[in-house]
Amino acid sequence: MITVASLVILLPFLAAATGLLGSRLPRGLRGATSRNPGTDLNAGADRRAAWIAVLPTAISTVLAIWLAYATWAATGQGAADGGTATFTVIETGSVPISVGLLVDGLAASIAVLVTVVALAVQVYSIGYLRGDRRYPSYSSFISLFTSAMLLVVYAADLLVLYVGWEIMGLCSYLLVGHWWEERANSRAAIKAFLVTRIGDVGFLFGIFVLGTAAGSFRIADVIAGVPEMSSGTLIAATMLLLAGVAGKSAQVPLHVWLPDAMAGPTPISALIHAATMVAAGIFVVARLYPAFLGARPTLDVLAVLAALGMLGAALAALAQDDLKRVLAYSTISQLAYMAGALAAGSRDAAIFHLITHGAFKALLFLCAGAVIHAVGSNLMSTMGGLRRGLPVTFAAMTIGFAALMGLPPASGFFSKDEMLTGIEHSLSAGPLTDAAALLLYGCALATIAVTGAYATRAWLRTFFGQRASRPEPAAGEAHAAVPAVHEVPASMHWPIVVLAVPALLLGFARIGDVHWGTAALSLTVALLGAGAVYAVWRSAPQTDPARLLGPFRVPCERAFYVDSVYTGLLVRPVLLLARLVVRTDNRVVDGTVRGSGRTTLRLAGLVRLVQNGNAQLYVTGLLAGVLLIAAGAVIFG
């Protein structure tokens, strides 16, 4: 099994290396822009890059599925895991680093999610980025991104996991900023990189604390050593780890990078939001869950942050006009829901929802890409009535929204039921304090209602009503008709169809675990939120149902001004300090250098007066010196 896991990781990595080193652009395209190359001379390079990217990922997907099946079969026979292997041990002088892999049910399940979504994104990107002159490097970075996430999933050592963790951060920067010529894209990439790096500092120190306390960075040794660690050590370590989790999984207060990351290509949004990057934080908490259970204050902090994040992000999603930003805030909300389930002690429920969420969120983003491809805009105010022109996209996105809302028989219905049941159970028996558990449960119910509201609003505004008309023409000009829309190319079409299947049916794997009372409550609350939006929309189909927020609409649209607070508290002081440093450098440091230079020039000018090339002046000076010496000798002799 370890050999197969190694291949699952290495195949995308080799695809990335081959794509980056072997692809070359035709000279005729070097002056073209990325989005509008103006020619298709790079079609051959695109085809080669597509094969290099898709084929290894497809093989990796097949191997990951086989490995998951073999691991589940072994677990069913009583095996603890599918195996652990150490390839080499790096001596550091203190705690050694074990380079190895771990295959168990958790790793095998998440690896299937990663590879399936990555394969869908690679295939979808062939059509979505057709003609983009940087497609070869783009597809290679996706392969590297996939390999890094798989390394995180299968790593048996915390520092090996951290290597994959950091490579993902680099890949997200490169992919979000793919269209770097546009200032918004480059800024979004830098913002994502910096915010996640802030959390990663704490994450690295958390790894050091755990590894030092356990005497090993091997995950199995760390977990085995948890009972021997003091509560202070566990609290310090898990709080530090939580900083990295908040950064990667876009949780309060480090969530601000994720909505801006929507500036990147839509397939990248699907990859980041569904299977990589944001999923890594939830996975790490699940992987080190015994350590978090031993640090109850950390779980209380996680519960409070999750409660605020799930409801706040859902309200922000309800007020957005950009379809991709709606889905971005939805991701923040759903990840906070998983974090809340972890805080409440429901690890399996959180992982189950991580898998179902990966399926339906990837589906929603790829459907959003199809809609944007057809309409030419991200804004829902320019959409409407698209269900006739995009029937397949409409059906698939309906499944995705149903899963997001938790409507049966979609997969989200089953996973949300398990999470809400676990959170409800924490009210009477669980690792949380009563106040934290009550806050978490109340926000979870409210989030279900708001999720039903924003999902219904996005669905209605995109596919129903009438398409927004063009502005009225000027005098003497003909009235321009709204262009017809049509389905996307086959390379974009089939990933949507394939992902719709698990988004709809995946939940039936846990149908026997449904708690029907909790499920009925969740369904009722979701339908109340959806019904409120439908009633507002029905009364005035051409207006935005977000008006039901009333005076809170603008704060929700601005995501409660968190970015503005960061700008005031962090960005402006740093810019002010930077300007002060520049001024000090110019006036003090450079001023000292320039002043010493001017002084030297003036002194040189004085010396130059006696070095004018006049021989008579030199002889006169010599004689004058001799006379002065002689006079001195006579007078003082």
pLDDT (tens digit, 9 = 90+) per residue, 238-249? 999 999 999 999
Choose the weakest-confidence range: 525-529, 547-551, 627-631: 627-631
Lowest mean pLDDT among 319-333, 343-357, 368-382: 368-382
* Mean local confidence (pLDDT), 23-46: 50
Residues in CB range of 299: below 8 A, 6 or more apart: 292, 293, 342, 343, 431, 432, 436
Least confident interval from 110-114, 391-395, 469-473:
469-473
In angstroms, the Cα distances linking 327 to 400, 469, 547, 595 are: 11, 25, 19, 58
Model confidence at 615, in pLDDT bands (50, 70, 90)?
Answer: confident
Helical ranges in 464-584 per DSSP H:
490-505, 516-539, 553-557, 562-566, 572-584
What mean pLDDT is reported for the chain? 88
Residue-wise pLDDT for 419-460, tens only, equals 999 999 999 888 999 999 999 999 999 999 999 999 999 999
| DSSP H or E run through 86 | strand 83-90
49 pLDDT tier (thresholds 50, 70, 90): confident
Question: What 3-state DSSP class applies to 265?
Answer: coil
Any idea which residue has 């971005």 for tokens?
A: 328
d(CA 46, CA 41): 10
Residues 478-486 have a mean pLDDT of 60
Q: Of 101, 116, 117, which is closest to residue 151 (Cα–Cα)?
A: 101
Among the listed residues 381, 269, 379, the one whose alpha carbon sits nearest the alpha carbon of residue 329: 269
Q: What pLDDT is attached to residue 619? A: 80
Average pLDDT score over residue span 341-351: 95
pLDDT bin (cut points 50, 70, 90) of residue 591 is confident
pLDDT exceeds 80 at position 469 = no
Contact 175, 138 (CB under 8 A): yes
Which DSSP state fits 589?
I
pLDDT band at 637 (very low <50, low <70, confident <90, very high): low
DSSP 3-state percent helix, strand, coil across the chain (nearest 5): 75, 5, 20
> Residue ranges of the domains in the chain?
295-469+506-553, 565-636
